[in-house]
Structure 1
Amino acid sequence: MKTDLIKNIIKENNGIITAREIKSHNIDSWYLTDMIRKGELERVSRGIYFDPTFNNFDELFFLQKQYGKCIYSYQTALLLHGLTDRNPFINEVTVYQGYNAWRFKNKVNVHQIKKDWYQIGITYVDTIMGNTVTVYDMERTICDIVRDRKKQDPEIFSKAWNLYLKKQNKNIWRLRE
């Protein structure tokens, strides 16, 4: 019975479940341990488990499940919005200043921003695997890249800007904010 509930949660999350989700449903963590022992689940990281029957392990979704305060930005956001065709060498996220990002700074390129600006331009986008992740909107991403232009590839920005101008759902006035 409890195992069926766990499997339903896993199906809703495209193969991923967290210990926090188990606790919120008042299910003992013993069930997770039992499912791991039977080979029905794999422990990916502390508190995060993956069903190996799902062939679509989504790295972007997994990272945000693990570190909820990170927001995809810069070149990763360009990719998610369809403003570049290049996969970044390393994914880029933004957190607010003062957030302790030491746990995941080796996995991604971490940018820090003032806490007042952290919430501006947050939106949600589906990854290639169909999972929803938190990302900065197109306008915020363009502004971030312009602000940090000395560290950015000018070719990527130029292509992103041209693709942005062709988008139907753009909001050029928002760039002034």
Structure 2
Amino acid sequence: MLTFVLKYEQLFSIKVGGMMTNKEKILAIAHRNNGVLLTSHVSAAHIPRAALIPLVDDGVIRPVQRGIYVTDEGYVDDFYLLQARFPKGIYSHETALYLHGFSDRAPILPIMTFRYGTSTTRMKGELQPVIVSKDLDRGKIEIERSGSKIIVYDIERSLVDLLKPRYNADFEQFIPAIKRYAASRDKDVNKLFRCARHFGVEIEMQKYIGGLL
């Protein structure tokens, strides 16, 4: 097995009989992703998925969920696993507050936002879907958890989403979160109000944060 000390680019510079073997390519991909391997990664590299079988049999990688494997060095965050299953979703609302450190309450049923038309049949019991017809990508960012990257709305979009009239927000989480935001050195109030204005909740936002600034 190639050592995981080497970087991905270095691994691909190594030649075995003029070319890397599929095993080496797979391990290089896993290393680049902090020991996590998706079958979609393998397919994108034009490697037959059958090449995974001997690696599993030898204990080099182990399946943790359909289509997801880890090496001994790998650790898979639960939020990463869920998003790997539902890659079109974006963590939002109270779940986004938690992921950004603005809520101490870990979600029992994570909340993800999807584009209108997305089938939610397979999501029952796995997550709470929120469907939007537009502005899905506004405020979408990528954050890292335990070496894996997940997609979540930024804190401004997350706070604004909680004030939308069609969403029954948990204000026991929203109020402490807006207070933390107001006290944060990283707050961007102009960005917050631009987002609130865009979604028609600027007056509501002013009610909650106005006295805190």
Matched with 1:47 is 67
- The answer to whether the Cα contact below 8 Å between 1:48 and 1:66 also exists between their aligned partners in 2 is no
> What 5-or-longer segments of structure 1 have no aligned partner?
none
Larger Rg: 2
1:147 alignment partner, SS class = coil
Q: Which has the higher contact order (CA 8 A, sep 6+)?
A: 1
C-alpha displacement at 1:91, in angstroms? Answer: 1.1
Separation in 2 of the partners of 1:149 and 1:74? 13
> Structure 1 pair 76/49, CA: closer, same or farther in 2 (3 Å)?
same
Aligned-pair CA distance for 1:166: 1.6
SS of 1:126's equivalent? strand
Could you say which residue in structure 1 is the equivalent of 2:149?
A: 132
TM-score (norm 1): 0.88
1:119 paired residue number: 137
1:128-157 residue CA offsets vs partner (Å, 9 max, x unmatched): x13221111111111111115873322211
Residue 169 of structure 1 pairs with residue 186 of structure 2? yes
Q: Kindly, what percent of the aligned residue pairs are identical? A: 29
Are 1:86 and 2:134 counterparts? no
* CA distance, structure 2, for counterparts of residue 111 and residue 171 of structure 1: 25
Q: C-alpha separation between the residues in 1 aligned to 2:116 and 2:55?
A: 39
Cα distance change of structure 1 residues 21 and 56 upon mapping to structure 2, 3 Å threshold = closer
| TM-score normalized by the length of structure 2 | 0.74
AA aligned to 2:90 is I
Task: Label 1:56 to 1:166 Cα distance change in 2 as closer, same or farther (>3 A).
Answer: same
C-alpha displacement of 1:15:
2.5
Structure 2: stretches of 5+ with no match in the other structure:
1-20, 199-213
Q: Deviations over 1:92-143 (max 9, x none)?
A: 11101111122233211111111x221111111122x132211111111111
Is residue 144 from structure 1 mapped to residue 161 from structure 2 by the alignment? yes
The one-letter amino acid paired with 1:168 is: R
Give the aligned length: 174
Considering only aligned residues, what root-mean-square deviation do their CA atoms show, in Å? 1.9
- Per-residue CA deviations over 1:141-176 (Å, capped at 9, x if unaligned) read 111111158733222111000011122232222332
Cα distance in 2 for partners of 1:80, 1:74 equals 10
Aligned residues of 2:83 and 2:89 also touching (Cα < 8 A): yes
